């Protein structure tokens, strides 16, 4: 009888632990899921990524949208304009207006709540291989970053795919 009780207690503890883990992941927000398919990129996405890469090293400037300085949403507008795709000016407006996807592909937009709360305050362009290009903030330059970092995982809101 004692062995049966121990097995039952262990099963109950495991069930409770799984339930708690499930509840906590529900509170953590959306999962940052990506899909990289070699050779499966549209010409629009190729143009977006090429322009984003050309922007590497440009200094951050709030409201900037030129070679003299870019902010995160200015980088997005610039890259998407290269492919002839118009997007709203701010990360918040982009997040509200653009079509969401469950898995980001290269060229898709990734939105984050970096200013606290649950509102989009930062956007980057997914490069593939678990990296994005973005304009990180004052005193920095357009750069790439790994999405596996806890910072990005904890602040991720969702992905959008304005490009075909």
**Catalytic center residues:** 72, 122, 134
Q: Give 69's strand partners.
A: 66
**Residues in Cβ contact with 57 at an 8 Å cutoff, skipping those fewer than 6 apart:** 141, 142, 143
17 to each of 10, 13, 14, 99, 110, how far by Cα in Å? 10, 6, 5, 36, 32
**Angle of the 43-54 helix axis to the 72-82 helix axis, nearest 10:** 130
């Amino acid at each position: 009888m004692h062995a049966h009780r121990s097995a039952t207690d262990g099963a109950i503890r495991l069930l409770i632990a799984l339930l708690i883990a499930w509840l906590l992941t529900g509170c953590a927000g959306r999962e940052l899921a990506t899909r990289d398919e070699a050779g499966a990129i549209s010409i629009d996405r190729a143009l977006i990524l090429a322009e984003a890469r050309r922007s590497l090293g440009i200094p951050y400037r709030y409201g900037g949208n030129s070679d003299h300085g870019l902010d995160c949403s200015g980088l997005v507008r610039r890259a998407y304009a290269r492919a002839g795709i118009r997007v709203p000016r701010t990360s918040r407006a982009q997040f509200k207006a653009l079509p969401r996807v469950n898995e980001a592909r290269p060229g898709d937009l990734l939105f984050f709540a970096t200013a606290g709360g649950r509102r989009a305050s930062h956007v980057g362009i997914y490069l593939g291989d678990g990296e994005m290009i973005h304009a990180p903030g004052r005193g920095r330059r357009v750069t790439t970053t790994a999405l596996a970092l806890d910072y990005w995982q904890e602040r991720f809101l969702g992905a959008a795919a304005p490009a075909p």
